[in-house]
Amino acid sequence: MYVVLFDGVCNLCNGAVNWLIDHDPKNVLKFASLQSNYGQQIVAKHKLQGEYLNTILLVEDDKVYERSTAVLRALKHIGGWPALLYVFIVVPVFIRNAVYNFVARNRYKWFGKMDACRIPTPELKAKFLD
């Protein structure tokens, strides 16, 4: 199972989750907000510190990937044309994450912030972990 952890109050993050759901016909990804019980358990278990809320995480085989690596690995797992973007994994991580971090620092200013974490529709509830 692959679990994408995201900032549940970030409009950009929620948009990315919606996009991943729409492009995951095999339903290989599950989702949880970093603010959820599940998200907080992962943060505690892996002793994640600092700015973990400023990133997207992918939990894969009990290993946690973050930032651009998490995004690229999630795209690889859903397959189809999005998996082709995995080719960018060859770009050095410090370059990929510099771009990622720039967007992450500005995401609330550019895309806004919700007052509470998203609540999935009944149809999507099976894709989300609490």
CA atoms within 13 A on the CB side of 70: 26
Assigned token pair, 24: 């995951």
pLDDT at position 128: 83
Rounded distance between C-alpha atoms, residue 83 and residue 87, angstroms: 8
Sheet holding 63-66, edge to edge: 29-33, 2-6, 57-60, 63-66
Q: For residue 20, what are its two tokens? A: 């991943």
Residue in this structure with the two tokens 């599940």, named with its chain if needed: 38
Closest by CA to 75, choosing from 11, 7, 22, is 22
Structure tokens at 79: 């397959």
In the chain, what are the domain boundaries? 2-127
What SS3 state is found at 31?
strand
Given a contact cutoff of 8 angstroms between Cβ atoms, the answer to whether 32 and 124 are in contact is no
> pLDDT per position in the chain (130 positions), as tens?
899 999 888 888 888 999 999 999 999 999 999 989 999 999 899 888 777 767 899 999 989 999 999 999 999 999 999 999 999 999 999 999 999 999 988 888 898 877 666 666 777 777 888 7
CA distance between the termini of the chain: 15
